[in-house]
Chain A
Amino acid sequence: MDTTERSRRLPTIVLALIVPVVAIIVAIVTLNVTSESSTGATSTGVRGASGTTITIKNFQFAPATLKVAAGSTLKVVNADNTVHTVTSTATATKGGFDTGHLDGGATSTITIGAPGRYTYFCDIHNYMTGVIEAS
Protein backbone atom coordinates (compact mmCIF):
# COMPACT_ATOMS: atom_id res chain seq x y z
CA MET A 1 0.00 0.00 0.00
CA ASP A 2 1.48 3.34 -0.97
CA THR A 3 1.77 6.32 1.32
CA THR A 4 -0.99 8.27 -0.43
CA GLU A 5 -3.50 5.46 -0.04
CA ARG A 6 -2.47 4.89 3.55
CA SER A 7 -2.89 8.56 4.39
CA ARG A 8 -6.41 8.51 2.94
CA ARG A 9 -7.52 5.71 5.25
CA LEU A 10 -9.54 6.44 8.32
CA PRO A 11 -7.60 6.07 11.56
CA THR A 12 -8.34 2.67 13.08
CA ILE A 13 -9.87 4.19 16.20
CA VAL A 14 -12.34 6.16 14.06
CA LEU A 15 -13.20 3.04 12.08
CA ALA A 16 -13.74 1.13 15.31
CA LEU A 17 -16.04 3.82 16.69
CA ILE A 18 -18.32 4.12 13.66
CA VAL A 19 -20.64 1.22 14.48
CA PRO A 20 -21.00 1.89 18.24
CA VAL A 21 -21.59 5.61 17.68
CA VAL A 22 -24.14 4.97 14.93
CA ALA A 23 -25.84 2.33 17.10
CA ILE A 24 -26.04 4.66 20.10
CA ILE A 25 -27.39 7.56 18.04
CA VAL A 26 -29.99 5.36 16.33
CA ALA A 27 -31.03 3.86 19.67
CA ILE A 28 -31.43 7.29 21.27
CA VAL A 29 -33.36 8.65 18.29
CA THR A 30 -35.57 5.54 18.17
CA LEU A 31 -36.42 5.75 21.86
CA ASN A 32 -37.06 9.49 21.81
CA VAL A 33 -38.67 10.10 18.43
CA THR A 34 -40.88 7.04 18.45
CA SER A 35 -43.13 6.30 21.35
CA GLU A 36 -45.19 3.43 22.52
CA SER A 37 -48.62 4.10 21.10
CA SER A 38 -49.97 3.18 24.52
CA THR A 39 -49.54 6.82 25.49
CA GLY A 40 -52.65 7.71 23.57
CA ALA A 41 -54.39 4.46 24.25
CA THR A 42 -54.35 4.58 28.01
CA SER A 43 -55.99 7.97 27.95
CA THR A 44 -59.00 6.44 26.25
CA GLY A 45 -59.81 4.83 29.53
CA VAL A 46 -59.05 1.39 30.82
CA ARG A 47 -61.56 1.23 33.64
CA GLY A 48 -60.56 -2.09 35.05
CA ALA A 49 -62.73 -5.16 35.17
CA SER A 50 -66.00 -3.34 34.53
CA GLY A 51 -64.97 -0.81 31.88
CA THR A 52 -65.91 -0.57 28.25
CA THR A 53 -62.45 -0.71 26.74
CA ILE A 54 -60.16 -3.61 25.99
CA THR A 55 -56.58 -2.49 25.63
CA ILE A 56 -53.97 -4.65 23.97
CA LYS A 57 -50.53 -3.90 25.31
CA ASN A 58 -47.36 -5.97 25.47
CA PHE A 59 -49.21 -8.87 23.86
CA GLN A 60 -51.80 -9.00 26.62
CA PHE A 61 -55.45 -8.06 26.85
CA ALA A 62 -56.36 -5.71 29.67
CA PRO A 63 -58.41 -6.34 31.62
CA ALA A 64 -58.05 -10.08 31.22
CA THR A 65 -61.66 -10.49 32.33
CA LEU A 66 -64.11 -7.71 31.54
CA LYS A 67 -67.61 -7.52 33.03
CA VAL A 68 -70.14 -5.63 30.92
CA ALA A 69 -73.86 -5.29 30.42
CA ALA A 70 -75.33 -7.31 27.58
CA GLY A 71 -75.74 -5.16 24.51
CA SER A 72 -72.69 -3.05 25.31
CA THR A 73 -70.40 -1.73 22.64
CA LEU A 74 -66.80 -2.09 23.66
CA LYS A 75 -63.85 -0.16 22.36
CA VAL A 76 -60.75 -2.14 21.45
CA VAL A 77 -57.44 -0.28 21.46
CA ASN A 78 -54.30 -1.85 20.08
CA ALA A 79 -51.56 -0.15 22.08
CA ASP A 80 -48.84 -2.38 20.65
CA ASN A 81 -46.98 -1.50 17.50
CA THR A 82 -47.86 -4.76 15.86
CA VAL A 83 -51.03 -6.25 14.43
CA HIS A 84 -53.51 -7.97 16.75
CA THR A 85 -57.12 -9.11 16.65
CA VAL A 86 -59.86 -9.58 19.21
CA THR A 87 -61.60 -12.70 18.01
CA SER A 88 -64.17 -14.63 19.99
CA THR A 89 -64.14 -18.38 20.12
CA ALA A 90 -67.91 -18.30 19.57
CA THR A 91 -69.24 -18.13 16.03
CA ALA A 92 -71.01 -15.01 14.79
CA THR A 93 -74.38 -16.79 15.01
CA LYS A 94 -73.77 -17.35 18.72
CA GLY A 95 -72.86 -13.77 19.48
CA GLY A 96 -69.26 -14.03 18.41
CA PHE A 97 -67.17 -11.05 17.32
CA ASP A 98 -63.99 -10.34 15.46
CA THR A 99 -62.23 -7.02 15.01
CA GLY A 100 -60.17 -8.33 12.13
CA HIS A 101 -56.56 -7.17 11.88
CA LEU A 102 -55.93 -4.12 14.03
CA ASP A 103 -52.72 -2.32 13.18
CA GLY A 104 -50.58 -0.90 15.95
CA GLY A 105 -52.31 2.13 17.47
CA ALA A 106 -55.61 1.35 15.77
CA THR A 107 -58.97 1.12 17.52
CA SER A 108 -62.14 -0.78 16.79
CA THR A 109 -65.42 -1.64 18.44
CA ILE A 110 -67.22 -4.86 19.18
CA THR A 111 -70.78 -5.35 20.37
CA ILE A 112 -71.69 -7.91 22.99
CA GLY A 113 -75.17 -9.21 22.37
CA ALA A 114 -76.75 -11.73 24.67
CA PRO A 115 -75.68 -12.31 28.28
CA GLY A 116 -73.00 -14.94 28.62
CA ARG A 117 -69.34 -15.64 28.96
CA TYR A 118 -67.32 -14.93 25.84
CA THR A 119 -63.75 -16.08 25.54
CA TYR A 120 -61.61 -14.44 22.93
CA PHE A 121 -58.09 -14.54 21.62
CA CYS A 122 -55.74 -12.87 19.17
CA ASP A 123 -55.97 -14.71 15.88
CA ILE A 124 -52.35 -13.80 15.14
CA HIS A 125 -50.84 -14.62 18.53
CA ASN A 126 -53.21 -17.28 19.74
CA TYR A 127 -51.74 -17.59 23.22
CA MET A 128 -53.23 -14.16 23.94
CA THR A 129 -56.63 -14.78 25.51
CA GLY A 130 -59.27 -12.82 27.39
CA VAL A 131 -62.80 -13.15 28.72
CA ILE A 132 -65.87 -10.93 28.55
CA GLU A 133 -68.67 -11.66 30.99
CA ALA A 134 -71.95 -10.07 29.86
CA SER A 135 -74.86 -9.96 32.26
Chain B
Amino acid sequence: MNDTDLDALLSAPLPERDAGAFTVLLMEKIAHDQARPARILSWITVGILTLIVAAATIYGAQAMGHAASFSFAIPALLTLLTLALSYAVMQSARET
Protein backbone atom coordinates (compact mmCIF):
# COMPACT_ATOMS: atom_id res chain seq x y z
CA MET B 1 0.00 0.00 0.00
CA ASN B 2 1.43 3.40 -0.94
CA ASP B 3 1.19 6.66 1.04
CA THR B 4 -1.61 8.12 -1.08
CA ASP B 5 -3.82 5.06 -0.66
CA LEU B 6 -3.16 4.98 3.06
CA ASP B 7 -3.93 8.69 3.44
CA ALA B 8 -7.20 8.24 1.55
CA LEU B 9 -8.14 5.31 3.74
CA LEU B 10 -7.25 7.13 6.95
CA SER B 11 -9.05 10.30 5.92
CA ALA B 12 -12.33 8.50 5.28
CA PRO B 13 -14.85 9.71 7.85
CA LEU B 14 -15.77 7.36 10.69
CA PRO B 15 -19.09 5.55 10.17
CA GLU B 16 -22.06 7.70 11.18
CA ARG B 17 -23.76 6.56 14.39
CA ASP B 18 -27.43 7.07 15.15
CA ALA B 19 -27.98 9.64 17.91
CA GLY B 20 -31.45 8.43 19.00
CA ALA B 21 -31.01 5.92 21.82
CA PHE B 22 -27.66 7.37 22.80
CA THR B 23 -28.96 10.88 23.51
CA VAL B 24 -32.12 9.57 25.21
CA LEU B 25 -29.96 7.63 27.67
CA LEU B 26 -27.68 10.63 28.09
CA MET B 27 -30.59 12.94 28.90
CA GLU B 28 -31.84 10.43 31.49
CA LYS B 29 -28.43 10.41 33.14
CA ILE B 30 -28.33 14.21 33.12
CA ALA B 31 -31.80 14.38 34.71
CA HIS B 32 -30.62 11.92 37.37
CA ASP B 33 -27.50 14.01 37.88
CA GLN B 34 -29.52 17.20 38.24
CA ALA B 35 -31.72 15.59 40.90
CA ARG B 36 -28.70 14.74 43.02
CA PRO B 37 -28.77 17.83 45.30
CA ALA B 38 -32.48 17.19 45.98
CA ARG B 39 -31.69 13.57 46.81
CA ILE B 40 -28.93 14.57 49.20
CA LEU B 41 -31.26 17.08 50.87
CA SER B 42 -33.89 14.35 51.20
CA TRP B 43 -31.46 12.09 53.00
CA ILE B 44 -30.40 14.91 55.33
CA THR B 45 -34.09 15.54 56.09
CA VAL B 46 -34.58 11.85 56.80
CA GLY B 47 -31.67 12.00 59.24
CA ILE B 48 -33.13 14.99 61.06
CA LEU B 49 -36.54 13.34 61.20
CA THR B 50 -35.00 10.19 62.66
CA LEU B 51 -33.44 12.29 65.40
CA ILE B 52 -36.85 13.82 66.13
CA VAL B 53 -38.37 10.34 66.39
CA ALA B 54 -35.65 9.29 68.82
CA ALA B 55 -36.14 12.43 70.91
CA ALA B 56 -39.92 11.98 70.96
CA THR B 57 -39.52 8.36 72.02
CA ILE B 58 -37.17 9.30 74.86
CA TYR B 59 -39.46 12.12 75.90
CA GLY B 60 -42.45 9.77 75.89
CA ALA B 61 -40.62 7.17 77.96
CA GLN B 62 -39.53 9.75 80.53
CA ALA B 63 -43.00 11.27 80.81
CA MET B 64 -44.47 7.80 81.33
CA GLY B 65 -42.05 7.18 84.15
CA HIS B 66 -42.73 10.44 85.93
CA ALA B 67 -46.49 10.85 85.69
CA ALA B 68 -48.95 8.03 85.74
CA SER B 69 -51.66 10.27 84.35
CA PHE B 70 -49.55 11.24 81.30
CA SER B 71 -51.24 10.64 77.98
CA PHE B 72 -49.14 8.67 75.53
CA ALA B 73 -51.30 9.82 72.64
CA ILE B 74 -49.45 13.06 71.79
CA PRO B 75 -45.89 11.63 71.52
CA ALA B 76 -47.26 8.63 69.68
CA LEU B 77 -49.05 10.88 67.22
CA LEU B 78 -45.88 12.96 66.74
CA THR B 79 -43.86 9.81 66.14
CA LEU B 80 -46.34 8.51 63.59
CA LEU B 81 -46.40 11.87 61.83
CA THR B 82 -42.62 11.95 61.68
CA LEU B 83 -42.46 8.44 60.31
CA ALA B 84 -45.06 9.30 57.68
CA LEU B 85 -43.06 12.38 56.70
CA SER B 86 -39.85 10.33 56.47
CA TYR B 87 -41.58 7.81 54.26
CA ALA B 88 -42.90 10.60 52.00
CA VAL B 89 -39.43 12.14 51.70
CA MET B 90 -37.89 8.77 50.84
CA GLN B 91 -40.52 8.08 48.23
CA SER B 92 -39.95 11.47 46.65
CA ALA B 93 -36.18 10.88 46.66
CA ARG B 94 -36.72 7.57 44.89
CA GLU B 95 -38.92 9.17 42.24
CA THR B 96 -36.39 11.92 41.51
The answer to whether A and B assemble together is no
B binding-site residues for A, Cβ under 8 Å: none
